[in-house]
Amino acid sequence: MTGLKISPSILAADPTRLGEEIAQIAGEADWVHVDVMDNHFVPNLSFGLPVVRALCATSPLPVDCHLNIDDPDRWAVQYAQAGAGVVTFHAEAARAPVRTMRAVRAAGARAGLALCPATPLEPYEGVLAEADVLLLLTIDPGFGGQSFLDFVLPKIRRAREVIDATGADVLLQVDGGITTETIVACAEIGVDVVVAGSAVFGELDRAHAIRRLRAAAQAGKVAAGVLQETIA
Residue 186 lies in a domain: yes
Residue 14 lies in a domain: yes
Number of neighbours of residue 25 by Cβ within 10 angstroms: 24
CA dist 232 and 217 (Å) reads 17
Q: Angle CA(85)–CA(164)–CA(97) in degrees, nearest 5?
A: 50
Q: Choosing from 14, 30, 35, 132, which is the catalytic residue?
A: 35
Interval 191-201: pLDDT, tens? 999 999 999 99
Q: Give the pLDDT confidence score for residue 227 in this predicted structure.
A: 52
Q: Per residue of the chain (232 residues), give pLDDT as tens.
A: 458 999 999 999 999 999 999 999 999 999 999 999 999 999 999 999 999 999 999 999 999 999 999 999 999 999 999 999 999 999 999 999 999 999 999 999 999 999 999 999 999 999 999 999 999 999 998 787 789 999 999 999 999 999 999 999 999 999 999 999 999 999 999 999 999 999 999 999 999 999 999 999 998 878 777 554 444 3
Residue 81 lies in a domain: yes
Q: Give the pLDDT confidence score for residue 179 in this predicted structure.
A: 97
Asked if 30 is an active-site residue, the reply is no
- Domain with residue 157: its CATH number is 3.20.20.70
Asked if 140 is an active-site residue, the reply is no
CA dist 177 and 139 (Å) reads 7
Interval 131-146: pLDDT, tens? 999 999 999 987 877 8
Residue 228 lies in a domain: no
| Phi, psi at 45, each rounded to 5° | -125, 125
Which segments within 82-175 are labelled E, that is strand? 86-90, 110-115, 133-137, 171-175
- Residue 230 falls in which region: left (phi positive, over 0), alpha (psi -120 to 50) or beta: alpha
| pTM value > 0.85 | yes
Residue 229 lies in a domain: no
Q: Give the pLDDT confidence score for residue 145 in this predicted structure.
A: 78
Distances (CA, A) of 205 to 21, 24, 26, 28, 196: 11, 8, 13, 11, 14
Residue 230 lies in a domain: no
Over the range 202-221, which residues count as b (16 or more CB within 10 Å of their CB) and which as e?
A: eeeebeebbebbbebbbbbb
Count of helix runs (H) and strand runs (E) in the chain: 8, 8
Split into its structural domains, the chain has a count of 1
Q: Give the pLDDT confidence score for residue 230 in this predicted structure.
A: 45
CA dist 52 and 83 (Å) reads 8
Which domain range does residue 153 map to? 5-223
Q: Choosing from 30, 38, 64, 175, which is the catalytic residue?
A: 175
Residue 232 lies in a domain: no
Q: Give the pLDDT confidence score for residue 2 in this predicted structure.
A: 53
Question: What crossing angle do the helices spanning 97-106 and 72-81 adopt, rounded to 10°?
Answer: 10
